Every structure is written in C-alpha cells, then in structure tokens.
Structure 1
C-alpha cells in the first residue's frame, strides 16, 4: 500500500516538472531548475517504491534539465544515481557509457577527483561480469589521476588495470601495467608494495613463456623484495632455467604467493610447469629373439653336420681299395 502511495506521489512530481517546462506568453523560458528538482523528487519516490524503470527515466530527464541549466556537477550526480539504478535492475549494459558521461561532466566542471571516483565506482560494478568494460573505466580513472599528479591514486587504479589484464590473460599488457605501477610506487617510496609487485611481474613474464624477461625483472626490481621473497624467486627462476618441475611447483606453492591478490594467486596455481628433461626411449627388444636366433643357428649346424655325414658316407662307399692294402681282399 505504501508503495502505491509513493508511486502516486512520484507521478505528481512528474506532472509538476512537466508544468515547469511549459512556456506561455508570459513565460518564455522553461524553468529547468525547478523541473530538475521535481524530477529528482519523483525519482526518489519511485526508487522507494522499487519502480526502478520509472526512477531511471526521471533521473535521465533530470540530467537533461541540469544540462540546460548548465549545472553540470548536478547532472553528473544524477548520472551516478542512474548507474546504481542499473545495478538494481540487473541491466549493466549502459553502466559504462553512463559513467563516462558523468566523468566528462565532472571534468568539465573542474572536479577531476569526482570524475575518477565515478569511473572507479562503475568499474567495480562491472568487474565481475564485464571485465573488459571495467578495464576501460579503470584506465580512464588512472589517466585522470596522473593528470592531477595524484600518483598514489594513479597507482591504485593502475593496479586494478594490471589485475584485470591478468584475469583476461593479456599478459603483455599486464607486464606493461605492472612496470608503470612499480614506477609509481618507487616515486611514492612504497618499497614494500614494490617488492610484492616484483613477484607479480616475474609470474607474468613466466606466464608469457619468457624466462629471460623474468630474470631481468628480478634483477631490476629484486632489491625491493624481502628475504623470503628473494629466496622463492631465486628457486623459481632456477627451476625454470633448469627445467625442474618439482622445484618450480614448490616455489609456486609458497605461502606468500598464495596470499597475493586473487588474480596473481590463480595465475601461480595455473602456471604451466617446465617439462623437464625426458629420458631417451628404451630400445624395443622382441621377446625370445635370442632363443630363436640360437635355434636357427642350431638348426643350421645340425643341417651342416648331416650334410657332412652324408658326403663322408658317399665317399667311403665309392672308394676303391688301394693296392698296398694287405687287408683289402679280406682275411681269407
């Protein structure tokens, strides 16, 4: 019942807004300020009644009124409200475009921090289901932060960009983003964060299949790593260099790698291990090969002996007695 009451109240505010936009002989210009206020009130009523489609429609009309009145900051705020309503509706298709419009208005008004925050808020909504759109918004937020010389904020947005590249398996772009993030942390003297990022960069280079690049990353940034991190990375790189899958798996399962950001922990879990040195295949030996060879030899020897005996017998039978043989004619 209260929902119906709120809807009726919202409809009344819409009517008032429409009246404010009408012109007459004595009213040459619409009252955009009052109309925007009435549309905002109507949107609040519809939102409380959970009539989200009507709420979104009123907010977009309020945006137009604020633009006509050159109140860009309030127009951007109305667009931010639209993003939240899209989340309530479960329809995220327009979230990225609404956030980008809001950011443009904030920047035109001179509120760069609000622009970056608006993009960040929308990107978080999109991150799970639409990571590519979220990536674009985080990149835009990082650019705005860099323009404002806010290196800490830029490092935070760049970190999200790098993690999304890893999630999307865009390892070349992830490596570039990690280098930029390392440079920002070095500029801010955040050495502990730089050490953890060195581990992430080595993992990404190994995922690219480039062991040489991983070793270069360790040599360049490894001085920011702590003792356990250095030992683990040395073991990992040596294992990949020597193609030792057991030590590589042991290094990838080290506790601090498992407790890194989710994207890097998953990357380490699914990392292809080195194949290792394969032993040469054993020569295939036919069973009973030797015995059959011996049997053939024996058969050959037996046959030779038989042939020799036959020849000797023939020679003996066909031989005439010699003259000098005193027993040639027998004893008699």
Structure 2
C-alpha cells in the first residue's frame, strides 16, 4: 500500500514538472496546475507516512501558488508543511512554516486566518517551549486587536498572561492582565473584569507590591457591578488580611471556591500566597488592669526580680 502511494506521488510530480515546461506554443508555465499536482503528491506521500517528502511537496505547492499570486492557497500549503514537521517531532521547523503562513494570510488580506494559525502554532509548541508559545499568542492577539476583534484578542492575551505567571515573569504578567482587563471592560464583559482583578491582586501580592494590588481593587470600583460583588468582598478581605498579617484570613480567602477554581496557574498563586512577617497576626495594643503606670512597674519588678547585690 505504501509503495503504491509513493509511486502515485511521483506520478503527480512528473505531471507537475510537465505543467511547468514551456514551448513555442506554451509561453508561460502553468503554475496553477503544477501546484495542484504537488498538492496531490503531498497527500499521497502523507498517506505513505513519508512526511519529509510530503513536506517538500507542500513547499513546492506553496511556491507555485505564490507564483500564481494565490497567497491564501500558498499559506495553506505552508501550514500543511508545518504539520508534516510536527509529525516528525521537529517542532521549531513546524512553527517556522506556520509563522510564514500567517504572514502570507495577512498579506492576502485575511488577518483572522493569520491569527488562528498563530494560535494553533502556540498550542503546538506550548508543551515543549512555553516562551515561544507566549510570543505566538501575543502576535495572534495583536493581529486580532488591529482588526478590532477585542474578544478574541483578550482570549489570546489571556493565554499569554497565564504562561507568564507559570514562568514567574510576574512583572510582564501584571502588564498583560491589565491589558486584558481593559479589553474586557471596553466590550462590557464586566464579570470577566472581576476575575481579572482577582488575578491582578494575586500577581501583585506575589510581587510583594501591596500598593499595586490595592490600587487594582480601588480602580475596579468604577466597573459596573463590582462593588459589593463576591469578587470585591473577597479581595477586600484578602488585602486586609495580608496587610494585617493575618494568615487565617488569607488562607480562608485563598482556599475559597472563588479562587480555588480559577485557571490553574492563578489557583496555584492563591494556594502558595504567604503573608509577610511569617503570618503572625498583628496584636492591637491593650492597657493592663493596673492602668497607665502598670507597664513601667512591671519593668521595674523584672529588673530587680533577683534582688540587689
């Protein structure tokens, strides 16, 4: 079966080469037909599990579609070449082909398709190279943002934010979440803004920046429905407990379902949050029963407890 498919692929390549030949009666190569034959050859090679040869055929298909000014089809062929690289576990090369395809989609005037290709590339590379996945998700978000597709842009930016948290690049994560939140605010998706506020607070507290965390909550009071919501109440309690070094309050908020069932990377921030000072609650000063002079008297008793020498 495999041998038959390989022979079939070579027959299509021979036909493609014939389409490219010129003569006295045929002045221009038939790029469209050649691309079609290379596409058929690529499929035959793929079915025979000859992924390297299939990749080469897809690249040739893309080349002749480009010659024919058919950029969309050229980009599709390059994406398929990338998939062949993926099947051979050669992920960096796979991503290169898909990124090149995305640029062709943009050039062709189909930016949505470009962004979706970058998103797919991000998913492919994420298990082996998180930093590259972050870059791809950011690029995809930027393409959608340029097209005023803010919901899609925010979703892709969200993927990037979570991976930045996973890598502990918290300064970048804080900026990314802030941008996400503004996008959701602009499209009036206020409940998601509430969740982004929680994510902001957790990131800032892990950055040891209480002031920034507090500012995020205060700014969110202007978002319709936030004040008095369970998200708002939880964050107010968390910040108060953190500021007062009350470990019990912080643990109670961080282990609540509201935070426990967030995206996994944020849930981990919640369960690993430590209060400053070792978690010992600040005690309010109290006046002993002996009145204002009692502390001094106690100090004198201690000083001479063993008697005079």
Q: TM-score, normalised by structure 2?
A: 0.84
Distance in 1 separating the partners of 2:232 and 2:281:
29
Structure 1 residue 271, shift from structure 2 partner: 3.0
Distance in 1 separating the partners of 2:35 and 2:167:
41
Q: Which residue of 1 aligns with 2:218?
A: 219
Greater Cα shift, 90-99 or 106-115: 90-99
Conservation of the 8 A alpha-carbon contact between 1:59 and 1:82: yes
Structure 1 residue 52, shift from structure 2 partner: 1.2
The structure with the larger Rg is 1
Conservation of the 8 A alpha-carbon contact between 2:62 and 2:74: yes
Q: Which residue of 1 aligns with 2:231?
A: 229
Q: Deviations over 1:15-60 (max 9, x none)?
A: 2222223344544432221111111001111111221111111111
Greater Cα shift, 112-121 or 260-269: 260-269
Distance in 2 separating the partners of 1:145 and 1:94:
25
Structure 1 residue 178, shift from structure 2 partner: 1.0
Q: Secondary structure at the match of 1:94?
A: helix
Q: Which residue of 2 aligns with 1:58?
A: 57
Which of 258, 274, 279 aligns to 1:276? It is 279
Q: Does 1:178 align with 2:208?
A: no
Q: Which residue of 2 aligns with 1:116?
A: 115
Q: Which residue of 1 aligns with 2:166?
A: 167
Structure 1 residue 107, shift from structure 2 partner: 1.0
Conservation of the 8 A alpha-carbon contact between 1:76 and 1:102: yes
Gaps spanning 5+ residues in structure 2: where?
283-305
Q: Secondary structure at the match of 1:93?
A: helix
Q: Which residue of 2 aligns with 1:74?
A: 73
Q: Does 1:240 align with 2:239?
A: no
Distance in 2 separating the partners of 1:171 and 1:53:
40
Q: Does 1:106 align with 2:105?
A: yes
Structure 1 residue 276, shift from structure 2 partner: 2.9
Conservation of the 8 A alpha-carbon contact between 2:245 and 2:281: no
Structure 1 residue 176, shift from structure 2 partner: 1.0
Distance in 1 separating the partners of 2:263 and 2:18:
54
Q: Secondary structure at the match of 2:208?
A: coil
Q: Against the structure 1 CA distance between its residues 45 and 107, is the aligned structure 2 distance closer, same or farther, given a 3 Å change threshold?
A: same
Q: Deviations over 1:218-241 (max 9, x none)?
A: 111155546332232222211211
Distance in 1 separating the partners of 2:183 and 2:4:
54
Gaps spanning 5+ residues in structure 1: where?
280-292, 298-332
Q: Secondary structure at the match of 2:279?
A: coil
Q: Deviations over 1:242-271 (max 9, x none)?
A: 122332222211112111112111222333
Write the mapping of 1:184-223 to structure 2, written as runs, cut at 5 A: 184-222=183-221
The RMSD of aligned alpha carbons is 2.1
